[in-house]
Amino acid sequence: MATCDNLVRRHVLNTSPETDCIFCHSQMEDLEHILFLCEKTGEIWNAFLRWIGKSSALHHNAKEHFLAFIGLGNKAETRFLTGLWISIVWSIWKERNNCIFKQGVWNKDKLVLEIKMKLWCWKMIFKLEAPVLDLQAWLSLEGILS
């Protein structure tokens, strides 16, 4: 992925404040930071852990993070948790690109809503195992897998 650390390593960019994480500005952007370590994206992961009624200390490596996340549920919930993980990662990456290329502004609540809406659509299309709720309950309920 074209994260700032990769672009600096390939001499496409020079290290500068522009290579810092677009969300927290505390360190150089790399994949693990932007998706899993950044305090801002950590808020997203914590919001969704609460939403599914689980708690966990998740890994910082993408593969280990994914395996730990889908391991939070039982076998029947694996597809739902996989879809949720993919939706969160994809949405964070899209938000990162929006902030960099379109001068977007980080908005946690908007991002959480977008992820829930995306997952609602995927749930219907792919018949993911999840509680059958109306959309309003889906958006507001916490602990949906508890």
Q: Is pLDDT at 100 greater than 90 in this prediction?
A: no
Q: Is pLDDT at 5 greater than 50 in this prediction?
A: no
Q: Is pLDDT at 129 greater than 90 in this prediction?
A: no
**The pTM is what?**
0.86
What digits encode the pLDDT tens for the residues 34-82? 999 999 999 999 999 999 999 998 999 999 999 999 999 999 899 999 9
Rounded to the nearest integer, the mean pLDDT of the chain is 85
Confidence (pLDDT) at 140: 84
Greatest alpha-carbon span in the chain? 50
Percent of the chain past pLDDT 70, that is, above it, reads: 85
The confidence band for 15, taking pLDDT boundaries of 50, 70 and 90, is: low
Distance CA 81, CA 131 (A): 13
Q: Chain centroid to CA 8: how far?
A: 24
Average pLDDT over residues 126-141: 78
* Least confident range of 19-23, 64-68, 117-121: 19-23
Q: Chain centroid to CA 139: how far?
A: 16
Q: Compute how many other C-beta atoms are within 10 angstroms of the C-beta atom of residue 38.
A: 24
Distance CA 35, CA 90 (A): 9
